[in-house]
Amino acid sequence: MMPSDFSQISGTWNSEIFTSSHATEDLMKQQDLKACYLIEENFNTNYKMLNTLGKGNFSVVKRAFHVPTCTTVAVKILQNNKYTSVTSREARIMKSLSHPNIIKLYHVVETRETTYLVMEYASEGELQDRIIQAGSLEDSEARKIFVQIVHAVQYCHDHHIAHRDIKASNILINHKGNIKLGDFGLATKVVPGQKLAGFCGTLPYCAPELLQAEKYEGLPVDIWSLGVLLFLMVSGSLPFRGNSFVEIKWQIISANFRVPPHVSIDIFNVIVEMLMINPSRRPTIHQIKTRPMIRDSEACLPPNSTQVFPDTRSPSTVRSTRAVTDKPDRNISSCSSQEEFKSVTLTGSSSGDTLEKETVRNTL
């Protein structure tokens, strides 16, 4: 597969608005994660910005070096005047997550004009680049990767979080070869039965209901995107392609796609289930976990996370910090209990059934 085949999936829309020092990463993980309100000068003293890892419509992500702990991190940089509410939502959601297959948020640093999300660095880059390099993934590798993605999404859904932008460029790979789900910029908290409004996501991964100007449930949208992602992993191309927005939209809402004949039948069945036009006919993430493809690949999972983030606050290590909340000035708390992080906290100034493996058309 040629890199140009991915030209249609680089943009993300929202109408609602690598090598690391592994031994010292544990120091970052041992803190009570709070938002540090710093002045720009002090942030730049503690974090040395390196190369750019990626750019989005709303942000830039850079590799950075945390000087006090000699740790390589990823820093997402957002401008406050444009996306303050979106940034606060992303930070709140990420701070609530702790799973071995989800990128960990270490710090949220606010200045007058900019918010920095300091995150775990995945040194092996994006799954998208792995697919481009390989053309398509071998069956065994696809299974190993997808089962980890499913567990990450299950964790999100169990915590009532819809990611809404699952795609190959948001799946990262760490130095151990394990998968990390990242970029929660479009994620939102949902309650059962809640309907969302507004088009968001990346077009070729978008579920049909997103393109039909109707309210939708968040969790089935993620299931559709997982189907697109799995198709891409095993085939090397997207299931819904076209030369314009209208062409891609028509392919999606009609759900016409062709699964390559080399794809294993159990993988084929999972793809077809997830790419049902009617969201009520798509399996839940827990139902996907029961399918043979996932059930037989459980051994590929990394060890369960037993990381506990202690609430060991020490006023002596902090002069002024504030949490990113709807009312950010209400709480003053410590950002760090580790001696190495004292310099970070400084005073701020403001499936089943087998289907025929030819052309598949899912009906309502």
Which residues are the active-site residues? Answer: 165
Q: CA dihedral in degrees (186, 191, 195, 198; nearest 10)?
A: -10
Q: Which ranges in 96-138 belong to alpha helices (H)?
A: 127-134
Q: Are 348 and 38 in contact, with CB atoms under 8 Å apart?
A: yes
What string of H, E and C letters represents the secondary structure of 326-361?
Answer: CCCCCCCCCCCCCHHHHHHCCCCCCCCCCCCCCEEE
Residue pair 350/326 in contact (Cβ under 8 Å)? The answer is no
CA dist list (Å): 356 to 182, 259, 278 = 35, 10, 20
Question: Cβ–Cβ contacts within 10 Å for residue 79, how many?
Answer: 14
What letters, b where the CB count within 10 A reaches 16 and e where it falls short, cover 264-288? eebbbbbbbbbbbbebeebbebeeb
Output the known binding site for ATP.
Answer: 76
Structure-derived torsion over alpha carbons of residues 81, 163, 309, 79, reported in degrees to the nearest 10: -10
Burial of 246 (0-12, 13-18, 19+ CB in 10 A): exposed
**Residue 203: alpha-carbon gap to chain centroid:** 16
Please give the annotated binding residues, written as ranges.
Answer: 76
